[in-house]
Chains A and B, each alone.
Chain A
Amino acid sequence: QSVLTQPPSVSGAPGQRVTISCTGTSSNIGAGYDVHWYQHVPGTAPKLLIHGNFNRRSGVPDRISGSKSVTSASLDINNLQAEDEADYYCQSYDTGLSGGVIFGGGTKVTVL
């Protein structure tokens, strides 16, 4: 079981908006550690989309955005497109018993 909790799946029609949540605790996100987001298309290498909670990497469309609150973070994908179908992972750092670099369990985004 991952220290960071993500919904197993979300779906939306083309053009719609989906939001992926990443819920942590006071020993990771709540302790002030940044959240980073990756897109993983099976069979390829993961791609860093967002670093430092909301900083979009060069080449990532601005319809994809990240945000962070006290103990959670979110990835928003607006104007959903077929190419967005993939697995998405959040990543942070934890100082608790599961200390170190941690990933969420991943969320499968399906474009209907």
Chain B
Amino acid sequence: HLVESGGGVVRPGGSLRLSCVASGFTFGDYGMSWVRHVPGKGLQWVSGINWNGNLIEYIDSVKGRFTISRDNAKNSLFLEMHNLRAEDTALYRCAKSNYDTESTPTYGMDVWGPGTTVNVS
């Protein structure tokens, strides 16, 4: 299971820190991702991190503003978001890579959390 927290309402230019706590699998064995969903606009992969945190990827629109990290000892994934924009408004979910350890999900994402809502307005 994955459970996210940390979302909320924030003004443009503000910051939020999202957390995702994992259970039921060996967290440190898998790559992890953050995926956001804007109703009516579909899914968008935001960022991914490999098993030990040494490889990280972001989409261009969040580079320099968002930072992904993980703490394997605490089975936790994080997304630090700064300089938030209206277009960042979405439901943010963490997702586990299916099978692999990499920063991008080579075999898809097989476990997803229910999400936490970020509203920038």
**Which A residues are closer than 8 A to B by beta carbons?**
2, 34, 36, 38, 40, 42, 44-48, 50-52, 57, 89, 91, 93, 100-106
In the bound complex, do residue A45 and residue B112 qualify as a contact, i.e. CB atoms below 8 Å apart?
A: yes
Within 8 A of A (CB), among B49-92: 57, 59
Q: Which of B11-19, B22-30, B102-110 contacts A (4 or more CB under 8 A)?
A: B102-110
In the bound complex, do residue B114 and residue A36 qualify as a contact, i.e. CB atoms below 8 Å apart?
A: no
The smallest C-beta distance from B38 to any residue of chain A, in angstroms, reads 11
CA distance A34 to B95 in the complex (A): 18
Please give, as numbers and ranges, the residues of chain A lying within 8 Å of B57 by CB-CB distance: 100-101
**Which B residues are closer than 8 A to A by beta carbons?**
33, 39, 42-45, 48, 57, 59, 93, 95, 98, 104-110, 112-115
**Given A45-B114, A45-B115, A48-B98, do A103 and B108 touch, yes or no (CB 8 Å)?**
no
Please give, as numbers and ranges, the residues of chain B lying within 8 Å of A38 by CB-CB distance: 43, 108-109
In the bound complex, do residue A34 and residue B93 qualify as a contact, i.e. CB atoms below 8 Å apart?
A: no
The smallest C-beta distance from B48 to any residue of chain A, in angstroms, reads 7
The smallest C-beta distance from A91 to any residue of chain B, in angstroms, reads 7
In the bound complex, do residue A34 and residue B43 qualify as a contact, i.e. CB atoms below 8 Å apart?
A: no
In the bound complex, do residue B107 and residue A34 qualify as a contact, i.e. CB atoms below 8 Å apart?
A: yes
In the bound complex, do residue A101 and residue B112 qualify as a contact, i.e. CB atoms below 8 Å apart?
A: no
